[in-house]
Amino acid sequence: MSFVGYSGLWNRRSGSHLSTSRLPAMLEFCKTVLSRVSFDRRLFARELKKSFSWLSYQDAVALKTWALATYSRKYAPLILSTFAAAHALEG
């Protein structure tokens, strides 16, 4: 399990920072999680919010693009508002 803290992406299991070469795997992980919870709006919203907080801005944009392409009929307003809120917190 890993999380983003003040000093970046931290791997709890190994007790060390993840290398930047592994960060694209986080994007794929987020896609997998969102695919698995897409049946429930509340779970999808929670996981999307967490995903945007874990990813770099570039990866968050890529995730937003993927999510809109995959789930726009079901969750377009949710995806756009969650991304906007996550981006507003960064700025």
The more confident residue out of 40 and 5 is: 40
Q: Which pTM value belongs to this model?
A: 0.73
Per-residue pLDDT of 18-76, as tens digits, reads 544 455 799 999 999 999 999 999 999 999 999 999 999 999 999 999 999 999 999 99
- For 3, counting Cβ atoms within 10 Å of its Cβ (0-12 exposed, 13-18 middle, 19+ buried), the class is exposed
Sheet holding 8-11, edge to edge: 2-5, 8-11, 16-17
